[in-house]
């Protein structure tokens, strides 16, 4: 079985901050795609909940995910949205399929 790690991050923008949060997330997608081990980094918008976004990430290994969490693009994203949104993160590993 693969060592790959999947992250599902739900980002809920605070009132009046959705556009700023969305732009920061879009910038992160552009910047992160070139990082080692990044197999997927896609931004989604919840159609039923305005201001709610979902980032789906897939990393080749736990070590590569750790490198991502220390990379400039991720640190910049955290700084840009930390006071503008709430974040819920689920870390997954494939069991079958």
Q: pLDDT tens digits, residue range 21-55? A: 999 999 999 999 999 999 999 999 999 999 999 99
Average pLDDT, the chain: 96
> How far is Cα 21 from Cα 97, in angstroms, rounded to an integer?
34
State residue 97's pLDDT score. Answer: 82
Read off the pLDDT of residues 52-79 as tens digits, 9 standing for 90 and up.
999 999 999 999 999 999 999 999 999 9
State residue 8's pLDDT score. Answer: 99
Taken in order 62, 44, 22, 18, the sign of the CA dihedral is negative
Domains observed in the chain? 5-92 (3.30.70.100)
Read off the pLDDT of residues 75-86 as tens digits, 9 standing for 90 and up.
999 999 999 999
Helix H or strand E segment including 12? strand 5-13
Half-sphere exposure of 47 (CA within 13 A, CB side): 0
Work out the pLDDT band at 1, boundaries 50, 70, 90: low
Q: Three-state SS for 38?
A: strand
């Amino acid at each position: 079985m693969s060592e790959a790690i999947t992250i599902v991050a739900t980002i809920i923008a605070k009132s009046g901050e959705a556009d700023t949060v969305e732009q920061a997330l879009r910038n992160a997608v552009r910047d992160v795609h070139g990082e080692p081990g990044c197999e997927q980094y896609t931004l989604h918008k919840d159609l039923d909940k305005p201001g709610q976004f979902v980032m789906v990430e897939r990393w080749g290994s736990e070590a590569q995910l750790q490198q991502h969490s220390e990379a400039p693009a991720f640190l910049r994203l955290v700084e840009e949205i930390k006071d503008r949104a709430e974040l819920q993160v689920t870390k997954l590993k494939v069991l079958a399929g």
